Structure 1
């Protein structure tokens, strides 16, 4: 096993960081590694906003559900799906690109490009001995996030990424079994096999929580997912995306 694979397999979310800022060199390295990710048809449909202003970080932390580690970290990045520059290309090259820019396909391309870039950034950061935590909570109020960060139309802040020096290392949560995730030649639709695998995973997760909390918690994974999915969360998203001239067709 090489160092890259060990770094990937050692991943866990870090929510407590030392009061130590990343250097400019570290920031540039992380962003440059993000840019090295694959991009569909070379479209590069994303932007990354680094947030240093303590007032803005505090406000973003509040919007994200009062998550302290959004405010207190080595550096906070906001990853955005970005087709704004492509609308400028429309003007520069005197072409009518509106139908394409407002298509679901290009919207999906922008989402995928952004996610690929972010994961490259994560691996780079963790290889430097830093810790990370993805922050989906910034989508709680995207209008306000756009105002704070002065974001134009055709740009959607997708998630934040808190990076810094870990002050506390947490345990890794066991992932779904390999057999439940990997299908060969065709999708395995057998309902009984799926239910059995979920039962086995529930036991693994319940034991994980029992050990981590000294018997206080024994959550099952399917129980967690059902409770989360039962809540209608961020249901404004479709209207917001359409309002910002993305995914209309």
Structure 2
């Protein structure tokens, strides 16, 4: 096994990070690594906003559900889907691009590009001995986040990434069994097989929580997911995205 795969397999979210700033060199290396990710048709439909202002970090932490590690870390990155510069490119070249920009397809390209760039950034950070934690909570109150970050139309903050020196390493959560994720030639249609795999995984997860909490918690994965999806969080998102001129057709 090579060092890159070892880094990938060692991933875990780190929520206790030292309040010690990253160096300019570290930040630039992480961002440059993000830019090296694959991008659909060279579109590069994302931007990254680094938050160094303590007041902005504090406010983002509040808007994200009072998550302390949004404020206390080595550096906080916000990954944005960005089709603003493509609208500018159309104006510069006197081409009609708005219909394309407002399409679901280009919206998907934007999301995929940003996610690929972010994962490159995460791997780069971890390869430097740093810890990372993705923050979806910035989508809790996106109007306020956009105002705080002064993002223009066609730019959507998608998620944050807290990066820093780990204060404490947590245990890795066991992932779904490979057979439940990887399908060969066609999707597994036998729901009895699928359910059996999930039941086995529930036992693994329940054991993980039991050991980690000394018996105080024994959640199963399917129970967690059913509860999560029953909750209906951030249901304003479709309207918000349309308001910003994206995913309209």
**TM norm structure 2:** 1.00
Whether 1:69 aligns to 2:66 is no
Distance 2:63 2:113 in 1: 25
Residue 205 of structure 1 is matched in structure 2 by 205
Task: Trace 1:107-122 onto structure 2 (pairs within 5 A).
Answer: 107-122=107-122
Give how far 1:18 is off. Answer: 1.2
Q: Residue 49 of structure 1 aligns to a residue in which SS? A: strand
Distance 2:185 2:235 in 1: 36
Task: Trace 1:1-249 onto structure 2 (pairs within 5 A).
Answer: 1-249=1-249
Q: Residue 186 of structure 2 aligns to a residue in which SS? A: coil
Q: Is there any run of 5+ residues in structure 1 with no aligned partner, and where?
A: none
Report Cα offsets for 1:189-242 as digits up to 9, x if no partner: 111001100100000000000000000000000000011100110000000000
Distance 1:232 1:210 in 2: 28
Q: Is there any run of 5+ residues in structure 2 with no aligned partner, and where?
A: none
Report Cα offsets for 1:32-52 as digits up to 9, x if no partner: 000000000000000000000
**TM norm structure 1:** 1.00
Q: CA RMSD in A?
A: 0.4
- Poorly superposed stretches of 4+, deviation over 6 Å: none
Report Cα offsets for 1:65-93 as digits up to 9, x if no partner: 00000000000000000000001011100
